[in-house]
Structure 1
């Protein structure tokens, strides 16, 4: 029996159409584990950096009494603590899938993002309370020069952490870490806002200090809003439109593929899981179909380095 007689639409339907093919190579698993390890290392380093920044600022708060600097210091402490749930999520994400968690534990990274948003919101509430208290009952700030220096320290510390987290986050494909890095960058600029408060005190307007504290609180609340929307999208399996579009284009360029019927993709932790359904010529043999599928997998993984699990479903194209 020849390969052509062995193939054809009946054979293709009976072997391929009901099931499709799912595959996650050992290489993909190893890359995911390595990415989690790199994420944990980055969190350890950035945690130490933010804690040192916040402790230096806290020393100046004790001697100066600046409520604007206190608000910024509280926020920096909160930022350093947001590393802990993300750290735990990366550790959980390294665990292999089991009977109860057939997709693995990558979703823990999204839950960590929710915890991060909650911590940031709490820090905003504390900063707002302290600022309003000082605005009502008066604010006394001394050692203005030290306050200004602490504000600069806060900016530099946050900016260094931001660059580090964003760089590692982009490298390993962790949207949560990139967002956390962008958050640190905004925090750095809010530290510079403390300089305005220190300048107001130096010019003889101490009321500027709690006002700046309130403005920093408002900036934090905007961050909370943006972060909450981002995490909502993740929890609802939303994904950047360009990702499925890229996968669809790559599939359409593979020789032998007559059409792309559907592409689905979602983030699970810092890996993209995707399902694609492509159309092949009805008369194609099983061996030929498998070769097209192999080339298709290689092309998708080359175009999407952060791809995790990939499900390919093959169906015969309809002839008119």
Structure 2
């Protein structure tokens, strides 16, 4: 009971931190958009949109944490943990659309250059830098224990770098009138956004397609199961990811003695859990002399 209460307190603290991070990032996004429109800086607007995507990622992480705590029911017998994966897919698709839009706007600016107010860019980007650092601090400790939050934290780190870049572009505009740096930075931010999406999207789709964990070889799993005492062979093996942390397996196991099925089952589940971190497994036993097994 004490452990559950402690875990609840940690979750509540994490939700509160995410709430603050979302709120300040939404305010920052609005300030950057206004600053970008007033100054004419596309890079500032690009940074604002990137920051908005990060705020959305934090919001998705917060909502997913809430949903994932719901216990399994008759409609979702595996529970609601995969809500985080679905949310990640939505966020990544949005990143792709955002990146393509920024490239379009950046290329259009090459043909139609626009005057940019450097001081506005530097001031707004400086404020953004402070808020990005504060957000990264809020999520840093949580990122050590959650892949979902770690991704959001890395987004915040990229925001810090983008803000530094925007400050640099604004400074070059003030010092030398190099307006082209704004467009160049916009294209760099767009490229980085697309790179992030391209890196994370395949893994997200892989989980939703019930793919096998990339760090587990199904051949090794079958071999390890077949080596358990009393097991003659293993077939019809299905291995997939329930979510980013939990793996599941189902298989038909041919055994020598049906009277030892409980002992063999315990040994198999222990091997799967300790060696491959497969905590959910469904095993169907068949006797070695069964005609069906012989034909399998």
RMSD: 4.0
Q: Which residue of 1 aligns with 2:173?
A: 201
Residue 275 (1) aligns with residue 238 (2): no
**CA distance in 1 between partners of 2:13 and 2:224 (Å):** 34
Where does the alignment leave 5 or more consecutive residues of structure 1 unmatched?
1-29, 171-175
Q: Which residue of 2 aligns with 1:85?
A: 60
Query: Which of the pair has the greater relative contact order for Cα pairs under 8 Å at 6+ separation?
Result: 1
Q: Which residue of 2 aligns with 1:289?
A: 261
Moved more, 48-57 or 261-270: 48-57
1:317: Cα distance to partner? 4.2
The within-5 A match list for 1:134-149 is 136=112, 137-142=114-119, 146=123, 149=126
The within-5 A match list for 1:1-320 is 42=14, 44-49=16-21, 51-52=23-24, 55-56=27-28, 59=31, 65=39, 66-124=41-99, 127-128=102-103, 131=106, 136=112, 137-142=114-119, 146=123, 149-150=126-127, 152-153=129-130, 156-157=133-134, 159-160=136-137, 163-164=140-141, 166-170=143-147, 176-204=148-176, 205-245=178-218, 247-248=221-222, 250-252=224-226, 254-261=228-235, 263-269=237-243, 270-280=245-255, 282=256, 284-286=257-259, 288-305=260-277, 307-317=278-288
**CA distance in 1 between partners of 2:279 and 2:9 (Å):** 16
**CA deviation map 1:159-190 (0-9, x unaligned):** 546744542224xxxxx555444444444433
Residues 63 and 223 (structure 1), Cα distance of their counterparts in 2 relative to 1, 3 Å cut? closer
**CA distance in 2 between partners of 1:128 and 1:36 (Å):** 44
1:241: Cα distance to partner? 3.4
1:263: Cα distance to partner? 3.7
TM-score by length of 2: 0.72
Does structure 2 retain, via aligned residues, the 8 Å contact 1:46–1:165? no
TM-score by length of 1: 0.68
Give SS of 1:315's match: strand
**CA distance in 1 between partners of 2:101 and 2:15 (Å):** 25
**CA distance in 1 between partners of 2:62 and 2:122 (Å):** 37
**CA deviation map 1:70-89 (0-9, x unaligned):** 32122112211223334333
**CA deviation map 1:34-54 (0-9, x unaligned):** 999977864652352354356
**CA distance in 2 between partners of 1:263 and 1:163 (Å):** 39
Residues paired across the two proteins, number: 280
1:264: Cα distance to partner? 2.3
Where does the alignment leave 5 or more consecutive residues of structure 2 unmatched?
none
**CA deviation map 1:77-136 (0-9, x unaligned):** 221122333433343333344444343333333321222123324543564566567652
Q: Which residue of 2 aligns with 1:24?
A: none
Give SS of 1:168's match: coil
Moved more, 183-192 or 66-75: 183-192
